A = this chain, B = another copy of it.
Amino acid sequence: MARVVVDVMLKPEILDPQGQAVQRALPRLGFEGIADVRQGKRFELEVEGPVDEAALARIHEMAETFLANTVIEDFTVRVDEPAGAGS
């Protein structure tokens, strides 16, 4: 089964209180040099069948109408590389 990842982030002009709270905490924890933090959502979808153009188009539509609230959020859709760059 293939994995498709949908990343949903607040639009740049929209306030991201979570990201801000995280960023403000970093110096206190001894992590300097992070100019900005934005926090969003990551959806991992396990897709049955082939992930072809048509499947991606459907997932795109799903992201647009459901996974993201396009009033305030942007999203990207991509097929996951088989093995991630490990933690």
A33 to B57: give the CA distance in the assembly, Å. Answer: 13
Work out how many copies of this chain go into the complex. 2
Residue A53 CB within 8 A of the other chain: no
The answer to whether A43 and B48 touch across the interface, beta carbons within 8 angstroms, is no
- The one of B29, B48, B58, B78 that contacts A66, using a Cβ cutoff of 8 Å: B29
A34 to chain B, nearest CB (A): 5
- The one of B36, B39, B44 that contacts A9, using a Cβ cutoff of 8 Å: B44
- The one of B29, B38, B40, B85 that contacts A78, using a Cβ cutoff of 8 Å: B85
The answer to whether B45 and A34 touch across the interface, beta carbons within 8 angstroms, is yes
A78 contacts which chain B residues (CB < 8 A)?
Answer: 84-85
Q: Which of A48-87 contact B (CB under 8 A)?
A: 48-49, 55, 58, 60, 62-63, 65-67, 74-78, 84-87
